[in-house]
Structure 1
């Protein structure tokens, strides 16, 4: 795409504004020592309903979401709407278990989900497995935010696919990474929390303007859906990079929505945003109000249909460019700059939270837990800050060395892996004696191994492995989301293993109590 100086100027001005906000945030609502992990990584655990709402919204609806969901509709049609029921599942599940988890976190000082697992099950191997799973699931998710940012820069004509010169192609992303790393290191979670206010406001303005203005230009929604259906009919039946069954099988639609919804609040960055809230009441209110973002997500998804109707031809055939090109085609340059800045902020906010969450896992659950000497709070916070920068550098290297399809495939694997931690979390929350830690560990590793093996067996159109996230498991003939089938296998192992462990460890006294005849209590006081 050609360089637009007006759009770039507006984009740059807004990015400079939020950069200043990112550094100023270091003193925003500070309640204690900035070198304490609670202050730097969790904002002092003082975020009320409004701040938590915009922070979780900024975390949930990232740049990749704003680009990938419409791109899915652009490529596959109505299947891309799976993200809507997915959101319904995640908020319902979050309403059930997050308030109790947050109460425990405030009471016991949990910073990560591993802290909770450690406290509940007292198992070093299980805690380490949860930590490593969280890190492996976070890295490709963070890389996808940088992919989304790269798409925006390419759409502005200053990076990505917009140029063949490797230095000019990568320089804008390097600069954005440097700024992100600097204010995250300085301000911690307060930076994305403050920036999220601007990001959310701009996203709402852009999306509402788009769903009003673009249909007027294209002749109304009836004309849009008619033109989009004709455009889809002319596409190949198997979209590039997707399984043939994805476009037709309802089982995939339902299980993908269910599995993705169950997985989200298990990600370290989602838990970081939740633990920063003031308490259980704040979280419960947010789980009731965050569905408002689902309405926004439905409108965002419609942009993919509008891009089809408008006859957008994505840059390099990459559907991720469909929405940016639609916006630049339909709106004046200054508003295009606003829209691209909103998408860029939607990458910076979750990327910062993900890096902080990864830093917390390493500093709290690896460095501190396995250190042979006492670790001060200052040293713990410093390690978390350093790791947050290294994680972003690793994600950047991932983007530079591998293509976007690889990042997507690894993120699909991350979704499969992180869902396998669900039995440990739920059983730890609602019952501790019923679950055996060895069974939990076995189920977790088996679910991850099976999910990886099943995903490896799905071939991409180019012939390589990891071509998708759906397969026909066990005795079923229809494909479903691999994460769900892996979770079923995991849960069965946990159930059977816990029952077996309970039978084998039962004491002779317990056995005699269970088999001895009941002693009838007297109905009244003894007669003298």
Structure 2
């Protein structure tokens, strides 16, 4: 196959545009003191409704949306649609607790969820557990963005025949990402998100109208998908998938949707997008209008069926489903618009990858470096360390890409979800009450992490009996149905936490002071007395 130079040129031009925007962002709303973590890592906590909406959309709707979900639907059918109800369930759920998180973080200058755990429970150990879990869960999520960019590059046939030559364009893209993230902090992805979301909406609207016209309508698309799913999978001997979730898969579907909804805002990058808002009302307004992105996700999911109807990958042994959507665009769109679509996918991966690396860097800096390594670190020290760690995190994500099967890259995100769900009791519970004992929370976290990781390690990819981390579903003990490992691990976590809390309260085990007060959870933006202090620039 030859390189489509028109599509590649358009894609590169958009990439160059966002690179310039990324570096210019350092001068956008210029910080009072650039060497402060509130400025580099949270954009000065100054983003209004419009900027926050684009930032959260760019943060949460990633290469997972454009590549992984349609690829899963292309591969197995209806089961992949779990992503649509989970985003619908998530918004009313997080509407209950995210405004409280913003308020208490504003009151005490918290930069991370681990900061909140430290203040709420007075436990350095619990804060460390939350921080390390956040960093660990972020690695495979950044890796998922890498997989999305790699799919575009593979479709465009960019790079040499050697493994080094093939990976070089990807390394260049992430080097540029690392450079403007280091320079501009959260302001870079916030500004680039405007370009990213505009491109995504244009491509989605065109795709759901233009592609069905080319393929003979939605009726023909669904008929072709149903026929393809009825064919046996060579690896399992069972039908490849289904247009409707069968009775045996309903537990897996429901627990996957519920677990993903609960995990969505436990991720460090999600919290970073929320804490960067300038007011509590800004957070509430954004959560009210975010379901517009869920509509987009539902439309994008249909691309998986369209790829089947277009014959993408048909008859290719060991076909990589991650290439289905880019190749669909390449086959059915004019070259220039295919370039626009590829740019949307690539930028849609770069924006969240930048936010994720910043969020992980914030966690390490505040809850590992300052807490345990250098308690007397200044604001400038914190910012310098965070910048360096943001680079290291991106390198760590490459390890996941190299070490885990990429046939269904969505497993990368679901693996992170298993881990991050184990922080739910400490964070969400702590936002409403303080009954849980800090030692019980730590024990529950450890039990959930151990069970979830070990069970996920034992899941084999279809047709690869010696592989590991090949999926996110396993048998649920006592129930005997297959379900999302993350939810099962969370139930174990909660059981251990509740039982041990009862025991520890009964023996009157000591508690540490709570530095928060009830009124801290209701603070609004207008109360300047609660704003974290930022030292001015030296003159």
TM-score (structure 1 length as normaliser): 0.91
What does residue 211 of structure 2 align with? 214
Shift of 1:407: 6.6
Shift of 1:235: 4.6
Q: Secondary structure at the match of 1:505?
A: coil
Tell me, yes or no, if the aligned pair for 1:243 and 1:468 is still in contact at 8 Å. no
Tell me, yes or no, if the aligned pair for 1:149 and 1:173 is still in contact at 8 Å. yes
What does residue 477 of structure 1 align with? 480
Tell me, yes or no, if the aligned pair for 1:266 and 1:418 is still in contact at 8 Å. yes
What does residue 417 of structure 1 align with? 419
Q: Secondary structure at the match of 1:30?
A: coil
What does residue 144 of structure 1 align with? 144
Does residue 57 of the first structure (1) align with residue 57 of the second (2)? Answer: yes
Distance 1:109 1:505, change over 3 A: same
What does residue 76 of structure 1 align with? 76
What does residue 347 of structure 1 align with? 349
What does residue 535 of structure 2 align with? none
Of 231, 234, 242, which residue of structure 2 is paired with 1:234? 231
Of 352, 357, 360, which residue of structure 2 is paired with 1:358? 360
Distance 1:243 1:230, change over 3 A: closer
Shift of 1:177: 1.1
Tell me, yes or no, if the aligned pair for 2:140 and 2:415 is still in contact at 8 Å. no
Shift of 1:203: 0.4
Distance 1:405 1:487, change over 3 A: same
What does residue 94 of structure 1 align with? 94
What does residue 470 of structure 2 align with? 467
Q: Which runs of 4+ in 1 moved over 6 A?
A: 237-247
- Greater displacement, 368-377 / 423-432: 368-377
Shift of 1:473: 2.2
Shift of 1:402: 5.3
Tell me, yes or no, if the aligned pair for 2:232 and 2:238 is still in contact at 8 Å. no
Separation (CA, whole Å) in 2 of partners of 1:277 and 1:180: 23
Separation (CA, whole Å) in 1 of partners of 2:393 and 2:168: 19
Tell me, yes or no, if the aligned pair for 1:52 and 1:273 is still in contact at 8 Å. yes
Higher RCO (Cα < 8 Å, 6 or more apart): 2
Shift of 1:466: 2.6
What does residue 504 of structure 1 align with? 507
Distance 1:466 1:375, change over 3 A: same
Separation (CA, whole Å) in 2 of partners of 1:286 and 1:339: 26
Shift of 1:465: 3.0
Gaps of 5+ in 2: 511-539
Of 376, 383, 386, which residue of structure 2 is paired with 1:384? 386
Tell me, yes or no, if the aligned pair for 1:35 and 1:377 is still in contact at 8 Å. yes
Separation (CA, whole Å) in 2 of partners of 1:206 and 1:506: 58
Separation (CA, whole Å) in 1 of partners of 2:501 and 2:27: 49
Does residue 192 of the first structure (1) align with residue 194 of the second (2)? Answer: no
Gaps of 5+ in 1: 508-528
Separation (CA, whole Å) in 2 of partners of 1:400 and 1:497: 40
What does residue 520 of structure 1 align with? none
Shift of 1:242: 12
Separation (CA, whole Å) in 2 of partners of 1:424 and 1:151: 37
Tell me, yes or no, if the aligned pair for 1:30 and 1:39 is still in contact at 8 Å. no
Distance 1:139 1:165, change over 3 A: same
Q: How many correspondences in the alignment?
A: 503
What does residue 523 of structure 1 align with? none
What does residue 132 of structure 2 align with? 132
What does residue 530 of structure 2 align with? none
Of 405, 430, 433, which residue of structure 1 is paired with 2:432? 430
Does residue 319 of the first structure (1) align with residue 313 of the second (2)? Answer: no
Tell me, yes or no, if the aligned pair for 1:443 and 1:490 is still in contact at 8 Å. yes
Does residue 4 of the first structure (1) align with residue 7 of the second (2)? Answer: no
Separation (CA, whole Å) in 2 of partners of 1:240 and 1:498: 48
Higher Rg of the two aligned structures: 1
Shift of 1:477: 1.2
Distance 1:109 1:309, change over 3 A: same
Separation (CA, whole Å) in 1 of partners of 2:377 and 2:494: 36
Does residue 204 of the first structure (1) align with residue 207 of the second (2)? Answer: no
- Greater displacement, 457-466 / 439-448: 457-466
What does residue 443 of structure 1 align with? 444
Tell me, yes or no, if the aligned pair for 1:242 and 1:468 is still in contact at 8 Å. no
1:230-284: CA deviation from partner (whole Å, max 9, x where unpaired): 1222252867999999974101001000001100100111111111011221111
Shift of 1:456: 2.7
What does residue 292 of structure 1 align with? 292
Tell me, yes or no, if the aligned pair for 2:322 and 2:409 is still in contact at 8 Å. no
- Greater displacement, 281-290 / 496-505: 496-505
What does residue 532 of structure 2 align with? none
TM-score (structure 2 length as normaliser): 0.89
